[in-house]
Amino acid sequence: MRTSFKEAGAVKPLLQLLNHSDLAVREAAAYALERLSVSSTICQKIKAEGGLELLVNSVKDPDTPVGQLEEIVYTLSRIFDRGASMVDMLDSYAHNGSKDVTNSQRSIQGDIDTGHNGDSHTSVNQDVASKMIVDFDAISRLTKVLKEGSLSLQVKICSVLEHLATSEQHVTAMTAACIGSVIEAILEIGVIHGTRSDPENLDDLPSVFTEELSQAVSATARLLTKLLDFDLFVRSINSEKFTSLLRRMLKSSFPLQSKDWLAACLVKLESRAGLSGDHGVSSIDMEITIYETIPRLVDQMMTSFSFESKRSAIIELNKIISGGVMEYTRAVAASGGIFPLVKMLEEGDEDALEASLGILYNLSKDPENHPAIIAGGAVPLLKRIALAEGPHWTSALQLLRTLPV
């Protein structure tokens, strides 16, 4: 369908309608372009027709309503994202048929064999030139809307700004537009709604809001991570304040998917903090391990369908726990790791069994974990391992002796 619109020549007229005198027409055109832009082929057509400049001009126009602006931002985020989607492949296959797909594969193989890279350099140059169309006025408007927009709109604006944050010129404009204070405000909202001091906070919120807030925080953290590559931006922020906000969210009830980016951002911020003159930022490695790494590994053990994935998670977890840090052991128990560890006593290979026994032994040093270990069915499994007198029978016996059985 999208290919049909393109071949019917609908893209150019829709772009021209963005300048129509009637607001309803402009909004309808923006809506149609947003729907069509799901296809990267349409995105390329928009760029080829000079549409990027028209879209950016609409962003800069203070009279552009937020509803229309949202559609335009969604379109821009897809244009800057050069990754091909499944929709494109399906559209291409349905339109051209398998013969054209085969010819395309042969062409690609020919390029590989001859060392020819096709249009890759042209594509990169066009991409850079396209981004240069975005000036300070556009970035200033995007920053303003980022501060005031809905959570879903914040995600898309962060995506656009993240693409632009590869250029020092654009980062300078963002810094001048006080992007740092806007990012700080979004992170503060995340702290308010996700703080661990009130563990029921997120549970009381609608699930849709929680999901959108999580996505907005992740997108903001990705943008912040990108901006931290530039000294000018780093010097413009209070790194100690940002570190505090990120740490508090790391300890919060936010989903693990968000914490991946929070952790990455914290590591980057810590390494760059010296440039801002804030020398009081302490190491955050332990907090990342407790609130992101360990919960992620436990979740991997509990939810993965792949034995190899579970096995690698347990072995990595054992390396962490074997360091003897009590807080790490508590984090495993708090994340619900005892039951999957006990289960691995029955299902695991030699390496996984060794790792499981090691972690459970460390957990057994805290009497509060004994009921969960016993309830998980560890005792009969440990007795079986000990009686079999295999490679790990002494470890199983040692663990049995720590339990009140």
- pTM for this model (two decimals): 0.77
Can you give the pLDDT at residue 181? 96
Length of the chain: 405
Can you give the pLDDT at residue 98? 42
Can you give the pLDDT at residue 206? 64
Can you give the pLDDT at residue 86? 31
Q: For the chain (length 405 residues), average pLDDT per consecutive 10? A: 54 91 93 91 90 92 91 93 42 42 40 43 49 86 94 94 93 96 94 62 66 92 96 94 92 85 91 56 78 95 93 96 91 96 91 95 95 95 90 92 90
Can you give the pLDDT at residue 293? 94
Can you give the pLDDT at residue 381? 94
CA dihedral of residues 46, 48, 54, 60 (deg, nearest 10): 90
User: Which domains, ranges and CATH numbers included, belong to the chain?
Assistant: 2-116 (1.25.10.10), 136-282 (1.25.10), 304-402 (1.25.10.10)
For 215, 238, 246, 286, 301, the CA distances from 328, given in Å and listed in that order, are: 27, 30, 20, 8, 16
Can you give the pLDDT at residue 204? 59
Can you give the pLDDT at residue 93? 37
For 220, 267, 332, the CA distances from 296, given in Å and listed in that order, are: 21, 17, 10
Is the distance from CB of 298 to CB of 340 less than 8 angstroms? yes
Alpha-carbon 125 to chain mean position: 27
Can you give the pLDDT at residue 129? 52
Per DSSP, the three-state class of 32 is helix
Can you give the pLDDT at residue 278? 47
Can you give the pLDDT at residue 205? 60
Q: Residues 6 or more apart from 92 whose CB is under 8 A from it? A: 3, 41, 100, 101
Can you give the pLDDT at residue 254? 83
Rounded to whole angstroms, the Cα distance separating 237 from 247 reads 16
Q: Position of tokens 């000079």?
A: 50
178: left (phi > 0), else alpha (psi -120 to 50), else beta? left
